[in-house]
Structure 1
Amino acid sequence: MDINNYLLPAIIALSIITISIVIFARLGVGTIVGFIVAGIILGPHTPGPIATTNIETLQNIADFGVVLFLFTLGLDMKPQQLWSMRKTIIVQGFGQVLLTSALFSLLGTVMGLAWEVGFVIGAIFSQSSTAVVMTLLQEKKQLNTPHGTNIFSNLMAQDISVVPIMALIPILAHQQNTNANSGLYTSMLIIGLMVCVFILARYILPFCLKMSITSQNKSAFALSLFVVIFTTLWLSSVAGVSQTLGAFILGMLLSTSDFKLMLEEVVTPLKQALMGLFFLSVGMSINPEVLLSDFGTILIWLAAAVLIKTLVFITLALIDGKSLTVSIKTGFTLSQVGEFAFVLLGIGTVAGVLDSHNAAVGFIIISISMIITPFMNKLGNWLSLQFITDRYNDSHDPHAADNQLVIIGLDEVGRLIALLADRAHISYAAYDIDYECVKRGKALGLNAHFGDILNSGIQQKAQLKVAKAAFISATGSERLKRLALMLSHYKQLDIYARTNSRAEEFYLNKHGVKYAGSVYIESTLLRGLDLLRNFGLTEQDAMQLIDNLKQELFEQEYHQWGKQAASESQPVTVN
Structure 2
Amino acid sequence: MEGFLYQASIYLAAAVIAVPIAARLGLGSVLGYLAAGILIGPVFGLVGHETEELQHFAEFGVVMMLFLIGLELSPKALWDMRHRLLGLGGMQTTITTLAVMVGAMLLDQSWSVALAVGLIFALSSTAIVLQTLSEKGLMQTGGGRSAFSVLLTQDIAVIPILALLPLLALPKPSDMVLADALERPVGEVAHAVSGHHDASFSLVQGLPGWGVTLVTIGAVAAIILTGIYLIAPVFRFIHAARLREMYTALALLIVCGISFVMYLVGLSPALGAFLAGVVLANSEFRHELESDIEPFKGLLLGLFFITVGAGINFAILFGAPFLILGLALLVIVTKGLILYLLGRVFNLRGRDLWLFTLSLAQAGEFGFVLISFSSQQNVVPPALTEILLLVVALTMLITPLLFILYDWLSKRIETIAETHEPDKIDHQGPVIIVGIGRFGQIVNRLVRSAGYSTVVLDHDLQAIQRMRRFGVKGFFGDPTRPELLHAAGLKDAKVLVAAIDDPDAATRLVAFARRERPDLHIIARARDRTHVFRLYQAGANDIVREMFDASLRAGRYVLENIGLSEYEASEMEETFYHHDRHSVRELAALWNPDVPTIKNEPYIARAQELEKELETMLLSQLEESAEVSTTKKRRA
TM-score category of the 2 structures, normalised to the smaller one: 0.5 to 0.7
Pairing partner for 2:71 from 72, 75, 81: 75
Conserved 8 A contact 1:91-1:320: no
What residue is the counterpart of 2:109 in the other structure? 113
1:37 aligned onto 2:112: no
* Offset from partner CA, 1:66-125 (integer Å, 9 cap, x none): 111111111111111111111111122111111111112211221111112111111111
Larger Rg: 2
Instruction: Supply the distance in 2 between the matched residues of 1:41 and 1:162 (Cα, whole angstroms).
Output: 31
Deviates more, 1:132-141 or 1:353-362: 353-362
Instruction: Supply the distance in 1 between the matched residues of 2:214 and 2:158 (Cα, whole angstroms).
Output: 18
* CA displacement at 1:46 relative to structure 2: 3.9
Instruction: Supply the distance in 1 between the matched residues of 2:161 and 2:245 (Cα, whole angstroms).
Output: 40
1:174 aligned onto 2:200: no
- Give the AA of the match of 1:501: G
Alignment of 1:237-316 (within 5 A): 237-316=263-342
Instruction: Supply the distance in 1 between the matched residues of 2:255 and 2:388 (Cα, whole angstroms).
Output: 31
* CA displacement at 1:370 relative to structure 2: 1.2
Alignment of 1:139-538 (within 5 A): 139-174=135-170, 176=180, 178-181=184-187, 184-383=210-409, 385-386=412-413, 389=418, 494-495=554-555, 496-497=557-558, 498-499=560-561, 501=563
Structure 1 runs not aligned, ≥5 long: 392-396, 405-465, 467-486, 516-546, 557-575
* Offset from partner CA, 1:393-424 (integer Å, 9 cap, x none): xxxx99969xx9xxxxxxxxxxxxxxxxxxxx
Q: Secondary structure of 1:372's partner?
A: helix
What residue is the counterpart of 1:440 in the other structure? none
TM-score (norm 1): 0.68
CA distance 1:357–1:513, change in 2 (3 Å):
farther
* Offset from partner CA, 1:505-560 (integer Å, 9 cap, x none): 99999999979xxxxxxxxxxxxxxxxxxxxxxxxxxxxxxx9996337689xxxx
TM-score (norm 2): 0.62
Instruction: Supply the distance in 2 between the matched residues of 1:72 and 1:35 (Cα, whole angstroms).
Output: 21
Pairing partner for 1:18 from 16, 19, 22: 16
Equivalenced residue count is 433
Instruction: Supply the distance in 2 between the matched residues of 1:183 and 1:390 (Cα, whole angstroms).
Output: 56
* Offset from partner CA, 1:152-182 (integer Å, 9 cap, x none): 1111111110000111111122265645346
Instruction: Supply the distance in 2 between the matched residues of 1:264 and 1:294 (Cα, whole angstroms).
Output: 45
What residue is the counterpart of 1:63 in the other structure? 59
Conserved 8 A contact 2:329-2:395: no
* CA displacement at 1:323 relative to structure 2: 2.6
* CA displacement at 1:325 relative to structure 2: 3.9
CA distance 1:6–1:111, change in 2 (3 Å):
closer
Conserved 8 A contact 2:125-2:360: yes
Structure 2 runs not aligned, ≥5 long: 172-179, 188-207, 421-434, 443-526, 528-546, 578-621, 632-636
Instruction: Supply the distance in 1 between the matched residues of 2:259 and 2:419 (Cα, whole angstroms).
Output: 42
1:85 aligned onto 2:81: yes
Q: Secondary structure of 1:144's partner?
A: coil
CA distance 1:279–1:400, change in 2 (3 Å):
farther
Pairing partner for 2:100 from 94, 100, 104: 104
Percent sequence identity is 28
CA distance 1:290–1:191, change in 2 (3 Å):
same
Deviates more, 1:224-233 or 1:277-286: 224-233
Conserved 8 A contact 1:294-1:361: no
* CA displacement at 1:134 relative to structure 2: 0.8
Deviates more, 1:71-80 or 1:356-365: 356-365
Instruction: Supply the distance in 2 between the matched residues of 1:399 and 1:314 (Cα, whole angstroms).
Output: 30
Conserved 8 A contact 2:62-2:270: yes
* CA displacement at 1:183 relative to structure 2: 5.1
Instruction: Supply the distance in 2 between the matched residues of 1:52 and 1:512 (Cα, whole angstroms).
Output: 66
Conserved 8 A contact 2:262-2:272: yes
RMSD: 3.6
Q: Secondary structure of 2:186's partner?
A: coil
- Give the AA of the match of 2:213: S
What residue is the counterpart of 1:125 in the other structure? 121
Conserved 8 A contact 1:89-1:154: yes
- Give the AA of the match of 2:168: L
CA distance 1:25–1:400, change in 2 (3 Å):
farther
What residue is the counterpart of 1:552 in the other structure? 627
